[in-house]
Structure 1
Amino acid sequence: MIVDRVYKPKRKELLYHYCDATTFHAICTNKTIRMCDLFSMNDYLEMHWGYSIWEKAATELLPEIGEEFLNAIDHIIHFSGGWGLLLASCFSLDGDVLSQWRAYADDGNGYVIGFNAQDLKKMSVRALKVEYREKKQIEEIKKVVKAIYDVEKSLPEEEKFGEGFVELCTLLSFDSASYKNPAFSEEKEVRLVHLLNFEKSNNSLKLVDNGGIAFGKDCPGQEVKFLMSQNAPKTYIDLDFSNSGKSFPIKEVIIGPKNLVLSTAISTYLETLNIPNVEVKRSNASYR
């Protein structure tokens, strides 16, 4: 568990989601956030980047901790993908960045939705603030590994490398999803993650959502769905952010710099969909 990556929003802090008009409409009408397979996102390195940081950290720790212990962690990290599939939804701390309008909001024709961050964290998700500085990433991994090493060193021989060790190393593996290439630093990303589990099914495996805690109470798992992307199945689930209509986390909508829709039209649209008191404004980005 990379404690430094856990996102702790300030009071009334907003998280921004860039999207095209179709996705904007789906979010507003369904009151859900789509969690997608991390390997199908825009950065083709994604989880591979986190593993490369682990390798660099392990190399620096080798003289201090030893090959046997590091190999035990590496074994768990290597096979953690066989235990579960990490889904994510991506947000930004900045709601009006030209490069993100271009990349994620239909080349400036889409929208940005500003959500109350504390409300989003009430869903059955883990919120991770992305770190882009490679040196900091390596130091964080080293800190976690040293902590695991100290715990294991204090245990009786028969209790070493037990369930607690496996759980901590698995969390380390999945939390490394909060590390990205420095080239993406302008995005100021916070990602919400949710884990699906693999279960045996006949002679193969199937994905299941075991649910979690949402809005302070146990919630059932969601239906695991797929869509085809580049001839391959892309996994996703949709999580309700409205607490069955009791919560209203959408606080702001920003209209893209090339989007010609009237602000009043969007305000009326939101109120009609029972999304009240949203501040609607236009992007300040100069883009034509």
Structure 2
Amino acid sequence: MTKPNKNIQSEPTLFHYCSTETFLNIIANKTLRLSDISKSNDYKETKWIFEYIEDEIIKQFEAAPFFRGEYIRGLSEIETIKLVVRNIMEKMKNRSEELMYVSCFSEDDDKLSQWRGYADDGCGLVIGFNYHSLNTLISKCEELNLMQVLYPEDIATASQEIKDYSERVLDSIHRALTNDKLETLLNNEYGVIDIFHELSSRNFIRKSISFKNPAFKEENEWRIVFDGEFSKSTDWDYWYDPKEGRPRLYGEYSELFPKGLQFRTQKNKIVSFFDLSFKGFEESIIDSITIGPKSEIQESDLDQLLGYYGYDITEIKINKSTSTYR
């Protein structure tokens, strides 16, 4: 993933909806939580792109079919290809063991659906984070990225990379069928769908984090993403010193993630997360705070809280939601 363009003309304030408890933790601890994206409310996170790849492979086969008649009794040519492709895509998804951690924002600071979904049903708050300060913060680590989420109806028509990748997969299928290796193709044994596809599938999963189901389009989402070898290490001796009772971190990781990898419960799940520290940015990182439509917090409460923890309250605009929701 590439870093965002530092010369971007429009630098939006990015809004983080949260409960009052989360708001207090963010302000007091000066951290933003990056959670395992696989535990998000969209169960197809990081998997959407494979559906577009599957559609593109079928489209390419329909444009230039390379066999006629039955390969599998009772199935037409297109039904056979669909079965094979679906099997390959599922195996590629399952092979990937990538972990990615995200913190989510919106371009909108007062949207009722987001109050309901992400801010304790309107009882919470919205923190408006300064784009430039966030970008400066994450630039300290190559594994952190700030990106805008896309909600394309059909990314396959717009992505040459997807077309090229689909062509390679389809070529592998063609070769396997030509060599009478349908069974091994369905089992996805090594040598039929070669290592290129496994590596590429992981690459596409990384990229797919910037694509989301169009049903979520109204969220106008941006993300801080922690995606790299460090974040995915499962060598726990590397991560944590049980004798000392503290994480083993160094360099920018120690500065940005002082508590290392942590865990919390979420209903019936255990979710891993990192707390990204923004200490040193207190005077510039928050542009605004919007109080939820059902919140009883007063502006004077926020003035006291922000001043106590070292924020420049003269530079933070405090608003009350205009949503008539109760």
2:19 equivalent in structure 1: 20
> Separation in 1 of the partners of 2:39 and 2:121?
20
Aligned partner of 1:81: which letter?
S
> Separation in 1 of the partners of 2:322 and 2:39?
30
Residue of 129, 133, 145 corresponding to 2:162: 145
- My pick for the range that moved more, 10-19 or 46-55, is 46-55
The answer to whether structure 1 residue 132 and structure 2 residue 151 are counterparts is: yes
The answer to whether structure 1 residue 270 and structure 2 residue 306 are counterparts is: yes
Structure-2 change in CA distance of 1:206 and 1:30 (3 Å): closer
The answer to whether structure 1 residue 81 and structure 2 residue 118 are counterparts is: no
Deviation at 1:145, TM superposition (A): 3.3
Aligned partner of 1:224: which letter?
L
- The alignment-based identity, stated in percent, is 29
RMSD, aligned α-carbons: 3.9
Aligned partner of 2:156: which letter?
I
> Separation in 1 of the partners of 2:226 and 2:151?
21
Deviation at 1:148, TM superposition (A): 6.9
Going by fraction, where is strand more abundant, 1 or 2?
A: 1
2:176 equivalent in structure 1: none
CA contact (8 A) 1:211 1:221 kept: no
CA contact (8 A) 1:257 1:284 kept: yes
> Separation in 1 of the partners of 2:157 and 2:249?
33
Deviation at 1:257, TM superposition (A): 0.8
Structure-2 change in CA distance of 1:212 and 1:120 (3 Å): farther
Q: Where in structure 1 are there 5+ consecutive unaligned residues?
A: 151-160
Deviation at 1:56, TM superposition (A): 2.1
> Separation in 2 of the partners of 1:281 and 1:246?
19
2:232 equivalent in structure 1: 197
CA contact (8 A) 2:105 2:222 kept: yes
Deviation at 1:185, TM superposition (A): 1.1
Equivalent residues in 2 for 1:1-288, closer than 5 Å = 10-61=9-60, 78=93, 81-82=96-97, 84-121=98-135, 122-123=137-138, 124=141, 125-135=144-154, 137-140=155-158, 142-146=159-163, 170-195=202-227, 196-199=231-234, 223-242=260-279, 244-245=280-281, 248-276=284-312, 277-288=315-326
Q: Where in structure 2 are there 5+ consecutive unaligned residues?
A: 67-80, 168-193, 241-246
CA contact (8 A) 1:95 1:254 kept: yes
Structure-2 change in CA distance of 1:56 and 1:209 (3 Å): farther
Secondary structure of the equivalent of 2:28? helix
Deviation at 1:127, TM superposition (A): 2.0
The Cα offsets for residues 193-226 of structure 1, whole Å up to 9 and x where unpaired, read as 1122134569xx9899988979xxx967861111
Deviation at 1:11, TM superposition (A): 4.9
Deviation at 1:80, TM superposition (A): 6.1
> Separation in 2 of the partners of 1:253 and 1:131?
26
Secondary structure of the equivalent of 1:134? coil
CA contact (8 A) 1:209 1:221 kept: no
- Number of residue pairs matched by the alignment: 263
> Separation in 2 of the partners of 1:58 and 1:247?
51
CA contact (8 A) 1:86 1:194 kept: yes
Secondary structure of the equivalent of 1:178? coil
Deviation at 1:129, TM superposition (A): 1.5
> Separation in 1 of the partners of 2:48 and 2:283?
36
Give TM-score, length-normalised by structure 2. Answer: 0.67
Structure with max Cα Rg: 2
> Separation in 2 of the partners of 1:57 and 1:169?
15
The Cα offsets for residues 123-144 of structure 1, whole Å up to 9 and x where unpaired, read as 1421221122322x2234x322
Give TM-score, length-normalised by structure 1. Answer: 0.75
Deviation at 1:284, TM superposition (A): 1.4
